[in-house]
Amino acid sequence: MKKILTNLAGIACLVSPLITHASIIEIGTGYSTAGTQVSAADYKSVVDSAITSSVSVMSYDNVIPQNILGTGTTDFAFKSTVSFGVSAALAGNWEIRSGVDFGRGGAIFIDGVAQDFKTTDMWWAGSYDDKSQSFDVSLILGAGNHILQLYGLEGCCSGMQQAQFKVGSSNSFTSFSSNDNLVFTVPEPETYSMVLAGLGLMGTIVRRRKQM
């Protein structure tokens, strides 16, 4: 019986890697000569079709796609996906902002819903003073997993990118990163199936031993 309980504990531990206390950030890029688009949905469609490479990064602070992915110097398509979690204590009013370098404009989505798009030459260059050069969205987020996505087109070289959040009445922004303490539950159906199958097998063994 002791061995069975040990095995049950071991199987249960497989669930723990499914929870991460940090945001998951993926940066994708490709080439596109497309010009400015007429909607956020169009930016998403054009960029999605152009992305050819992607990489995970530890922090969304001064990200330069060109340096990370080693792509060319002109006609960029850029996509970033930030998977983050909101605890019950942090549910409520959120502000998310992103400084970008999208010479042909871009769009911001949260949980698959377009929040804003701009067709102007956006060049953040480290300052949020000029609102036309960045995205800034205020919204209410409930507890659970959420997805931030940014899409953009750049005709020249790829400059710095940043994405940050602020919760409630806080006066300070925090960059999404591997140590931002936003708990995200990673869905892995295969692992869940394995855990359930293992628990079922152990339960069968326990019942059979009790009948003997």
Residues 95 and 143 in one domain: yes
What mean pLDDT is predicted for residues 155-181? 92
Residues 157 and 70 in one domain: yes
Q: What share of the chain has pLDDT > 90, as a percent?
A: 61
Least confident piece of the model among 20-29, 43-52, 110-119, 160-169: 20-29
Residues 55 and 154 in one domain: yes
Residues 127 and 193 in one domain: no
Residues 69 and 137 in one domain: yes
Flag whether pLDDT at 210 surpasses 60. Answer: no
Residues 42 and 130 in one domain: yes
Buried b (16+ CB within 10 A) or exposed e, 161-191: bbbbbbbeeeeeeebbbeebebbbeeeeeee
Beta bridge partners of 31: 76
Flag whether pLDDT at 204 surpasses 90. Answer: no
H or E stretch including 94? Answer: strand 92-99
Residues 84 and 164 in one domain: yes
Q: Is the dihedral of CA 137, 138, 139, 143 positive or negative?
A: positive
Exposed/middle/buried for 8, CB within 10 Å: 0-12, 13-18, 19+? middle
Tally of structural domains, the chain: 2
Residues 63 and 153 in one domain: yes
What mean pLDDT is predicted for residues 74-101? 95
**Token pair belonging to 195:** 């855990």
Residues 40 and 100 in one domain: yes
Q: What is the CATH number of the domain that holds 106?
A: 2.60.120.1560
pLDDT band of 197, cuts 50, 70, 90:
low
With the CA atoms of 41, 44, 50 and 54 taken in that order, what torsion angle do they form, in degrees rounded to the nearest 10?
-170
pLDDT at 193: 54
Q: Is the dihedral of CA 60, 62, 66, 70 positive or negative?
A: negative
What mean pLDDT is predicted for residues 66-87? 86
**Token pair belonging to 76:** 């960029």
What mean pLDDT is predicted for residues 176-188? 84
pLDDT at 86: 96
Compare 20 and 84 and report the one with higher pLDDT: 84
Full domain range(s) for residue 70 = 22-182
Residues 32 and 11 in one domain: no
Let me know: does 104 contact 34? Beta carbons within 8 Å: yes
Flag whether pLDDT at 82 surpasses 80. Answer: yes
Q: What is the total residue count of the chain?
A: 212
DSSP string of 159-203, one letter each residue: --BEEEEEETT-S--EE-BTTS---EEPP-HHHHHHHHHHHHHHH
Identify which of 128, 133, 103, 93 has the alpha carbon closest to the alpha carbon of residue 116: 133
* Cα 82 to Cα 149: distance, rounded to the nearest angstrom: 6
Average pLDDT, the chain: 84
* Cα 147 to Cα 110: distance, rounded to the nearest angstrom: 6
Identify which of 25, 34, 165 has the alpha carbon closest to the alpha carbon of residue 102: 34
Residues 147 and 196 in one domain: no
Compare 186 and 109 and report the one with higher pLDDT: 109
Q: What share of the chain has pLDDT > 70, as a percent?
A: 77
Residues 147 and 203 in one domain: no
pLDDT at 156: 85
Note the pLDDT tens digit of each residue in 13-53: 444 445 667 899 999 988 999 999 999 999 999 999 999 98
pLDDT band of 157, cuts 50, 70, 90:
confident
